[in-house]
Amino acid sequence: MTKRDRMIEKAREYTTGTYIRKFVAPEFQRMIRAEYGARPAGPVRAIVAGNLDTVDRRRGQCVCVTCGKVLPWSSGIGGMHTGHFLASRRASIVFEEENVAPQCSGCNRYHGGMPQQFRLWMEVVRGPEVVDRLERLTWTTRQFTREELVDMRIEFKRRLKAAEEAMS
């Protein structure tokens, strides 16, 4: 039995929603932050005091797109999060990479995601066509099979490892 087969067997112990929440989404979120952290050092565009600005960062750090705070990519619960532009409760957008970006815990958790600042950042940095596409996706339905979820988890782990290696 392959590792993938064992993971699929384990996934069958959970509903798909629980498996996403417990296993796949955390891996996706770590991968996103690590990939941002692995980018070369330099200026990053973020909203600072309500305006688009550039913030310098070193490799291994992420910039909160809604306030400009710079923190290590792996700084944990009180540090850097992976914020969702549109609520991730819908399976149709939960793993859309264009829907997420680094956010500090203050903006993401304690200030409700800073939706106006996040929208401004999205429209300027990613473009209005991306915002429109994501908003349309929220009205669609998507269901994942356990096999798809396991394959995503494996791919997210692979990308996380590659990003961590790029930072070392």
Count how many domains the chain has.
Answer: 1
The residue ranges of DSSP E strands in the chain, in sequence order, are 42-48, 51-57, 61-63, 70-72, 80-84, 100-104
75 found inside a domain: yes
**Residue 141: per-residue pLDDT:** 86
Residue type, 162: A
Find the domain containing 141 and state its range. 39-146
100 found inside a domain: yes
- pTM for this predicted structure: 0.94
Phi, psi (degrees; rounded to nearest 5) at 122: -60, -45
8 found inside a domain: no
The maximal CA–CA distance of the chain, rounded, in angstroms, is 54
Tokens matching residue 161: 């490892």
98 found inside a domain: yes
21 found inside a domain: no
**Residue 152: per-residue pLDDT:** 98
7 found inside a domain: no
28 found inside a domain: no
87 found inside a domain: yes
pLDDT tens, per residue, the chain with 168 residues: 899 999 999 999 999 999 999 999 999 999 999 999 999 999 999 999 999 999 999 999 999 999 999 999 987 777 899 999 998 677 789 999 999 999 999 999 999 999 999 999 999 999 999 999 999 999 988 899 999 999 999 999 999 999 999 998
